Structure 1
Amino acid sequence: MFGLQTATIHCTPDITLDEFASALLVAEERRAISPLLTPDVERPSTFTPTGRKRIAPVLLLRDLENASHAVQALVLELMRTRKLTTSRSTYDVPDRFLILGILPKATIFPTGLLKHLREAFFISHHHEYDDELDFTNPAPSDTESSDSFASVVIRKHPPSPPCTPGFPIFTLGRNFIPGSVVDTLRALAHDVVMDTEIRRYLLDIIVFLRMHRAVKGGVIATGTGDLEWLVKCLAPMHGLDYVTPALVALAVFKVYNHRIELVQRTEDERSILWGSDPKEVEAYLRQVEVETVIEDVLASVRAPL
């Protein structure tokens, strides 16, 4: 998607540290620049191997919760230090570096995943089957044959939001986003304005999440900084240079959906201390989910006008 090399690793309980570290490395490649392209045009480039190894810029870690704690600790160390040390050498992560942990929805809060590693991920997102995608009967157009159209997926996209000056315009659905667009979005995010009322709204949501009856142990403090940064990143993507309450509500689901730990035992639910019926509390805990908690908090906190 970003024109970067990708390493996909299927994590199992038997994978060793050496095997995992080796799977992170890819052949270092040199970009081949076409003389037909002008310097201000960026397209997916062709690469030629140099014979050296480096950490892949994009890591797809499937079933990370199944890996041993030693492997998970290595991933956490890679996130925090941005270095990989092996018996042979030390590798620095690329400037543009992305780790994606791919987990099934049923294990959005897997018991096998280290708590500190889970909290180190910036955001989480759940993908569902999209009814707009027709995999069975793609209708050929007047200018395309059915044979050439068989491998094409058509998706209808809503019109793009109005863009502020300097906002990078790129087509929705394209399979390559130039690095210049990412750099521009990052620069615009730094200039996004967050009003005092919006900041108070954001902090009130965090306080209500921390004090919710179904949340165990509160919420991690680093999530506050991640939430503030995400809303500033979402603003230019929606053509805005300021933060709105709707952007805050959207970002809360992304930042806290994998960070909130729910109460599992009836005796740990705090309303028991002031006389709640244990059976009613048990029935409540069986049906509550993280999304339910976030929706409850958003409904309780008054958004600024």
Structure 2
Amino acid sequence: MDELLQARLQNVSDLDLAILVSLTSDQHCIFYSVSDAAKDLRDELHLSCTETFGLQTAVIDCSRTTVDEFSEAILVANDDSFKDAPEHRGSTHNLRLPTNPYPSRGHSPARSGSANITLDDRRIADVIIATNLDLAGPNVQVQALELLRTKRIFTRTAMHTASKDFLFVVVASKPDARLTHHLNDMFGISHFHEAEDGFPHVEGTMDKYATPAFSRDEIKSLHSQADEARLTAEVDAYLHNIVVFMRQSRYVKGGITATATRHLRAVAKALAPLHGLDYVPPSLVTLAVKKVYPHRVILTTAETERTLLWGSDPAAVKEMLRGVTVEDVIEEVIGSVDTPL
């Protein structure tokens, strides 16, 4: 990595860095904060994507949206010149939903004649920031799942596609919010933002009209370097052992999926070029574990703890589990696995 890029990495906020890791690893991300800071977190991420990375962004509140409204809100004009036009780098999709996005049956283009038919060539925004997706109905979450799986979406008039580096960001409604199981498993990274860490874009401590700190070419270069980062047999075994220990932990009921293991490997390799390395040391594996698993791990309860099957005292099990958090479990697992020299 060149020294200039390394210097810029030292000056970005934690949210900018989380977005950069997501883009480099090609993984979608969930952001958490205290409930009172959710709006500022959404606005900060919005400004980060547009001002720091120059990406066209759509923002949608999913708490009361329908499938049709969701599909319409994530679309932007198919402006081919956006990527190469600096004056458009701050452009964002209008956050307000149209009051009547679909024409009435009496005035549909098909009934008005071919002269009024226009091609709907809109595309999915580079970045979608979905707030309160955990509060959305199951149909909306299924639509989001299909979008992440296929990178395309169908409206009533056309099929719309996303770019190869498409990023889906969720701002959860509260720190312990959960998406549906399969949708949650599509997100490779999670990040908790402390309100006291501030929101530099929202608070105006960053130059609003500055050139984006990271160009698309730089992000592509980081992505290529991440793909080429070396993972030795010893470090690969270390990564595998952490996954095994996580699955076997008596505190864990579930969430340690095969998809999570793939995400762990991708994030660990993505962290290498961001630290100026062309290989993955054990320390980056442990850092990746702390980003990949917090939103996935499902803690066991006093009723489902596995040693009850062999006669453990329920009262003792309940006392053992009291106060145990996901972060505690992750730290306990990392400490249990021998680190390669």
The two structures share one fold, judged by TM-score above 0.5: yes
Give 1:52 deviation, angstroms.
4.4
Q: Secondary structure at the match of 1:106?
A: coil
Partners of 1:198 and 1:292 in 2: CA distance: 23
| 1:11 is aligned to 2:62 | yes
Cα distance 1:271–1:44, how it changes in 2: closer, same or farther (>3 A)? Answer: farther
Partners of 2:133 and 2:219 in 1: CA distance: 27
* 1:242-261 → structure 2 map (5 Å cutoff): 242-261=279-298
Q: Please tell me whether the aligned partners of residues 78 and 121 of structure 2 are also in contact (alpha carbons under 8 angstroms).
A: yes
1:238 corresponds to = 275
Can you list the C-alpha shifts for 1:253-282, whole angstroms capped at 9, x where unaligned? 111111111113x13101223333212221
| 1:182 is aligned to 2:219 | yes
Q: Secondary structure at the match of 2:231?
A: coil
Cα distance 1:52–1:218, how it changes in 2: closer, same or farther (>3 A)? Answer: closer
Partners of 2:168 and 2:161 in 1: CA distance: 14
1:121 corresponds to = 187
Give 1:206 deviation, angstroms.
0.3
Structure 1 unmatched ranges of 5 or more: 34-41, 136-150, 155-172
2:330 corresponds to = 294
Q: Please tell me whether the aligned partners of residues 124 and 161 of structure 2 are also in contact (alpha carbons under 8 angstroms).
A: yes
Can you list the C-alpha shifts for 1:197-245, whole angstroms capped at 9, x where unaligned? 1011100000000001111136101111111111111001000111111
Q: TM-score, normalised by structure 2?
A: 0.70
Cα distance 1:297–1:226, how it changes in 2: closer, same or farther (>3 A)? Answer: same
Partners of 2:270 and 2:298 in 1: CA distance: 26
Give 1:20 deviation, angstroms.
1.0
Cα distance 1:134–1:84, how it changes in 2: closer, same or farther (>3 A)? Answer: closer
Q: Secondary structure at the match of 2:256?
A: coil
Which of residues 34, 55, 62 is equivalent to 2:131? Answer: 62
Partners of 1:134 and 1:187 in 2: CA distance: 30
Give 1:96 deviation, angstroms.
2.2
Q: Secondary structure at the match of 2:175?
A: helix
Query: 17-26 vs 49-58, which deviates more?
Result: 49-58
1:81 corresponds to = 150
Q: TM-score, normalised by structure 1?
A: 0.78
Give the letter aligned to residue 221 of structure 1: A
1:71 corresponds to = 140
Can you list the C-alpha shifts for 1:131-156, whole angstroms capped at 9, x where unaligned? 5x598xxxxxxxxxxxxxxx6427xx
Give the letter aligned to residue 275 of structure 2: H
Cα distance 1:296–1:196, how it changes in 2: closer, same or farther (>3 A)? Answer: same
1:165 corresponds to = none
Give the letter aligned to residue 170 of structure 2: G
Structure 2 unmatched ranges of 5 or more: 1-48, 94-118
Q: Please tell me whether the aligned partners of residues 27 and 54 of structure 1 are also in contact (alpha carbons under 8 angstroms).
A: yes
Give 1:124 deviation, angstroms.
0.7
Partners of 2:284 and 2:230 in 1: CA distance: 13
If asked which structure has higher relative contact order (CA below 8 Å, sep 6+), I would say 2
Cα distance 1:224–1:284, how it changes in 2: closer, same or farther (>3 A)? Answer: same
Residues paired across the two proteins, number: 260
Give 1:175 deviation, angstroms.
4.9
* 1:1-305 → structure 2 map (5 Å cutoff): 1=49, 2-12=53-63, 14-31=64-81, 44-46=86-88, 52-108=121-177, 110=178, 113-130=179-196, 152-153=204-205, 175-217=212-254, 219-264=256-301, 266-305=302-341
Partners of 1:215 and 1:134 in 2: CA distance: 34
Can you list the C-alpha shifts for 1:134-190, whole angstroms capped at 9, x where unaligned? 98xxxxxxxxxxxxxxx6427xxxxxxxxxxxxxxxxxx985310111111111112
Partners of 2:124 and 2:283 in 1: CA distance: 37
Give the letter aligned to residue 79 of structure 2: E
Q: Please tell me whether the aligned partners of residues 57 and 93 of structure 1 are also in contact (alpha carbons under 8 angstroms).
A: yes
Can you list the C-alpha shifts for 1:69-95, whole angstroms capped at 9, x where unaligned? 000000000011111012211011122
Partners of 1:134 and 1:79 in 2: CA distance: 28
Q: Secondary structure at the match of 1:29?
A: coil
Q: Runs of 4+ in structure 1 displaced over 6 angstroms?
A: 47-51
Q: Secondary structure at the match of 1:18?
A: helix
Partners of 2:135 and 2:161 in 1: CA distance: 26
Q: Please tell me whether the aligned partners of residues 121 and 160 of structure 2 are also in contact (alpha carbons under 8 angstroms).
A: no
Q: Please tell me whether the aligned partners of residues 211 and 218 of structure 1 are also in contact (alpha carbons under 8 angstroms).
A: no
Partners of 2:69 and 2:180 in 1: CA distance: 20
1:148 corresponds to = none
